[in-house]
Amino acid sequence: MMEDYGIERILELLPHRYPFVLVDRVMKVLPGEKLVALKNVSINEPFFQGHFPGKPIMPGVLILEGMVQAVALLLGETHPVEMHDRLCFTGIDKARFRVPVVPGDQLIYEVRIKKQRSSMIKITGEAFVGARLVAEAELMVLIGGQK
């Protein structure tokens, strides 16, 4: 198991930059198995300007994007050499949004490798606020799928 780490290491592993970095801290990594990360949801997020005025709710697609970024971090720690090639996200199945995420929430992403065949990987992703499940999905990734 690896120690937790902050934004400096996250920015080393992800190509994303402001305003599209949706992971603030990695809390736990078991390379080849699981990663737990968090996102502090602030009213200062640019997407809250239009989603929705007077009733800010984090867009579900951005919760999924945060899960995908957590997957990229897990795979960056699991397959560091192969990460020089691109990751190709090939699908999202069984996405469910259970509870709205609002400013002030601390979103916890848990992603787990479920199955791997050659360079194709299936991952389960869950997002929590406290102990409450707010979203879940199955994600498919191809390592080295595009150059």
CATH number at residue 101: 3.10.129.10
Q: Is the pLDDT of residue 36 over 70?
A: yes
Is the residue at 23 inside a domain?
Answer: yes
Is the residue at 67 inside a domain?
Answer: yes
The vertex-87 CA angle with 85 and 93, nearest 5°, equals 165
The vertex-110 CA angle with 70 and 82, nearest 5°, equals 35
Q: Catalytic residue positions?
A: 51
pLDDT tier, 75 (very low <50, low <70, confident <90, very high otherwise):
very high
pLDDT at residue 2, rounded to an integer: 79
How many domains is the chain built from? 1
Q: Is the pTM of this model over 0.85?
A: yes
Tell me the pLDDT tens digit for each residue of 89-106. 999 999 999 999 999 999
Q: Is the pLDDT of residue 83 over 80?
A: no
The residue to which tokens 């406290």 are assigned:
130
Domain, as residue range, for 116 = 7-143
